């Protein structure tokens, strides 16, 4: 089986009407890959969980009724890359969820840092309080080394993407429609282009010309939750897509963080309910780092990042001088004078670097102004 056949069959499987993410995952788990799905007969297909006669017939007819070449031509026209779930670039955290998509359509570029991502989500009707807190918290997340995942919707989602870019960070938007169509909502078209220009990415599990519907956005929400180490809910009503995303995160065993708000605010009721149900209180990035603990992620050599064990997201982007300072700090901590003597870095320069490391939450100051690794 060559790569072309694997790609054609993987795309074909996603285009079959009535075959959703869970059935598709069941098929891939049973047969191993999409090409083997299409080699199966009706009796073998019916052995797969949730595959009935109608679904089996649709699979058998797909080779003749679905033009994958047309979809690939559209991808080429619109600059869209297709990532199979077997591709090393496919988001590792997303691959782990039970209803993971078999492939992603990508505009822009995913990076190894996106495995260290937080989802920042909230209502489309953000209050002034929510807007300010989104800017503050997203900036803290970015400076601590996290990529930001959201849905490019009105309100909190769009603000989270913008705040990540303003802070010089990476951000990835997951859309509820095909990437060959204009961005929805249209007022975020420029923001989408800014994400791409910054080196970020737009993602969708939908073929290029699939329009947004009331059903595509809930499916999109599971990808947002699935890509992230944790989900930060800034504002949410009692019943909303935001709380659905948080529910997905909980089902996937990921942390959910909720920002408390005014008790009389209708866009904080969802956050307060999440807190009552056991979500982590969100006041600053320190709450996230404490809840996640050492992340311990190893980036493979082909990822472009030197192979190393990561315990903190900011470690990925440390400069050589920052690494030198961290390596010079013993378990008992060190004073500025001791670090200057150990590293040979002038005091004025060391102080600047220490401030940066403190903002990234890589160090903390203890008694007697001794500096410790966080």
308 domain residue, yes or no: no
pLDDT at residue 301 in the model? 45
89 domain residue, yes or no: no
pLDDT at residue 296 in the model? 57
pLDDT at residue 2 in the model? 40
145 domain residue, yes or no: yes
Q: DSSP of 159-196, one letter per residue?
A: HHHHHHHHTT--EEEE-SS-TTSPPSSGGGHHHHHHHH
Residue that is written with structure tokens 């509820």 in the block = 176
304 domain residue, yes or no: no
Pairing, β 103-108 against β 201-204: antiparallel
What is the number of domains present in the chain? 3
Q: Are residues 204 and 249 in the same domain?
A: yes
19 domain residue, yes or no: yes
Q: DSSP of 273-307, one letter per residue?
A: HHHHTTPEE-SSHHHHHHHH----EE--GGGSSPP
223 domain residue, yes or no: yes
Q: Which of 222, 168, 161, 210 is nearest to 188 (CA)?
A: 161
Q: Are residues 245 and 356 in the same domain?
A: no
> Within 13 Å and on the Cβ side, how many CA atoms surround 195?
34
Phi, psi of 23 (to 5 degrees): -65, -40
Q: Are residues 253 and 323 in the same domain?
A: no
pLDDT at residue 311 in the model? 66
Q: Which of 57, 4, 64, 54 is nearest to 34 (CA)?
A: 4
Phi, psi of 143 (to 5 degrees): -65, -25
Burial of 143 (0-12, 13-18, 19+ CB in 10 A): middle
Q: Are residues 152 and 229 in the same domain?
A: yes
Buried b (16+ CB within 10 A) or exposed e, 172-205: bbbbbbbbbbebbeeebeebbeebeebebbbbbb
Q: DSSP of 142-155, one letter per residue?
A: HHTT-EEEE---TT
Q: Are residues 133 and 195 in the same domain?
A: yes
Distance CA 77, CA 313 (A): 35
36 domain residue, yes or no: yes
Pairing, β 363-365 against β 371-373: antiparallel
- What domain range includes position 354? 318-373
87 domain residue, yes or no: no
Q: Are residues 110 and 187 in the same domain?
A: yes
Q: Which residues contact 243 (CB under 8 A, 6 or more apart)?
A: 233, 236, 237, 270, 273, 274
Walk along the chain (374 residues) in steps of 10 and give the mean pLDDT of each run.
73 88 89 92 92 91 88 94 91 92 94 93 97 98 95 98 97 98 96 98 95 92 97 93 93 96 95 95 94 65 51 76 88 88 88 84 81 83
């Amino acid at each position: 089986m060559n790569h072309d056949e694997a790609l054609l069959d993987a795309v074909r499987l996603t285009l079959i009407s009535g075959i959703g993410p869970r059935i598709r995952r069941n098929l891939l788990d049973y047969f191993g890959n999409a090409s083997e799905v299409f080699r199966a007969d009706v009796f073998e297909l019916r052995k797969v969980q949730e595959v009935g006669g109608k679904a089996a017939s649709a699979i058998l007819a797909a080779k003749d009724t679905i033009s994958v070449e047309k979809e690939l031509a559209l991808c080429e026209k619109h600059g869209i890359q297709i990532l199979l779930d077997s591709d090393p670039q496919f988001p590792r955290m997303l691959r782990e969820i039970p209803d993971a998509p078999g492939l992603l359509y990508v505009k822009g570029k995913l990076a190894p840092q996106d495995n260290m991502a937080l989802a920042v989500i909230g209502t489309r009707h953000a209050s002034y309080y929510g807007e300010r807190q989104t800017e503050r918290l997203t900036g803290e997340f970015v400076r601590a080394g996290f990529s930001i995942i959201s849905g490019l919707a009105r309100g909190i989602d769009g603000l989270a993407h913008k705040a990540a870019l303003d802070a010089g960070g990476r951000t990835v938007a997951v859309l509820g429609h095909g990437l060959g169509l204009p961005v929805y909502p249209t007022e975020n078209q420029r923001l989408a282009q800014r994400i791409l220009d910054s080196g970020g990415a737009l993602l969708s599990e939908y073929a290029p010309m699939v329009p947004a519907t009331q059903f595509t956005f809930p499916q999109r929400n599971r990808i947002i939750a699935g890509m992230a180490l944790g989900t930060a809910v800034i504002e949410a009503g009692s019943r909303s897509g935001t709380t659905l995303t948080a529910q997905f995160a909980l089902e996937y065993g990921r942390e959910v963080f909720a920002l408390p708000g005014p008790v009389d605010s209708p866009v904080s009721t969802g956050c307060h309910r999440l807190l009552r149900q056991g979500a982590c209180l969100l006041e600053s990035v320190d709450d996230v780092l404490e809840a996640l603990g050492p992340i311990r992620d190893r980036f493979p050599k082909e990822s472009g990042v030197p192979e190393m064990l990561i315990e903190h997201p900011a470690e990925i982007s440390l400069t050589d001088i920052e690494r030198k300072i961290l390596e010079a700090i013993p378990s008992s901590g060190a004073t500025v004078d001791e670090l200057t003597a150990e590293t040979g870095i002038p005091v004025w320069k060391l102080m600047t670097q220490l401030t940066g490391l403190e903002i990234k939450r890589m160090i903390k100051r203890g008694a007697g102004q001794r500096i410790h690794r966080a």
